[in-house]
A = this chain, B = another copy of it.
Amino acid sequence: MLLSENQFQKLVSSFSILPGIGKKSATRIGFHVLRMEDSTFQSWLNGLKEARERLHFCQICGGLTEETICDICDSPKRDKTILCVVEQPEDIFFIENTKEFFGTYHVLNGSISPLDGIGPDQLRIKPLMERLEESDIKEVLVATNPTLEGDATASYLSHLIKEREIKVTRIAHGITIGGTIEYSDQYTLGKAIKSRLTL
């Protein structure tokens, strides 16, 4: 057990580098992978390889697609006058799941974070400005995360876009549906009070 820990630690690391996986989860996953039948493991690997070969990022919005242009950008049914800006392609999935947004998207591939050396030039902001220039977009809904970086990005984009006389909105931050005031953190609750709506 002791000598083999080195090799096993490598296996654990293979999983603990993945987002949201701690050391204990990585250990359990490592053993799970070791216990897989050879054929199961092989088809599991092939599934990952195939996904990487077939899936790309849309040349317009940066979202996930098997084609050059994704189905949302390509659809005549989507409202081309409202554009939702997100940090990551996966955010599109979560917003689509709500069935509350019918416009198109633009993925930034991150958020402004000077400490990590990520400025506006490292993000897909130039392509965003080109889209605003060339199309009939009337509203940009900024759906960056309510973090320091997401807020900075939203504020930066807001200034830039308003200059073009395009309406800029941001998703509301407030207490979770089904949650309680008691368990909301003070910042969220404060924000919810500040952005209260007239009934």
- For A51, give the chain B residue with the smallest CB separation: B11
A18 neighbours in B (Cβ, 8 Å):
29, 32-33
- For A91, give the chain B residue with the smallest CB separation: B31
Asked if A52 is an interface residue, CB under 8 A from chain B, the answer is yes
CB interface residues, A 58-82, toward B, < 8 Å: 58, 63-67, 70-72
- CB distance A19 to B32 under 8 Å? yes
> Taking the full assembly, how many copies of this chain does it contain?
2
CB interface residues, A 1-42, toward B, < 8 Å: 1-4, 7-8, 10-11, 14, 18-21, 24-25, 27-34, 36, 41
CA distance in complex: A8, B96 (Å): 15
A55 in contact with B28 given A1-B71, A1-B93 (CB within 8 Å): no
CA distance in complex: A20, B14 (Å): 16
- CB distance A8 to B182 under 8 Å? no
A44 neighbours in B (Cβ, 8 Å):
14
A48 neighbours in B (Cβ, 8 Å):
11, 14, 33, 45
- For A40, give the chain B residue with the smallest CB separation: B17
Interface pairs (21), CB distance under 8 Å: A1-B64, A1-B72, A1-B92, A3-B65, A3-B67, A4-B55, A4-B66, A4-B67, A4-B70, A8-B51, A8-B55, A14-B47, A14-B51, A19-B25, A19-B32, A21-B25, A24-B182, A24-B183, A27-B182, A28-B90, A31-B88
Task: Give me 20 other A-B pairs in contact (C-beta within 8 A), A11-B47, A33-B51, A45-B49 excluded.
Answer: A1-B64, A1-B72, A4-B66, A7-B66, A8-B55, A10-B50, A14-B47, A14-B48, A18-B32, A18-B33, A20-B28, A20-B29, A21-B25, A21-B29, A24-B183, A27-B90, A31-B88, A33-B48, A34-B64, A41-B52
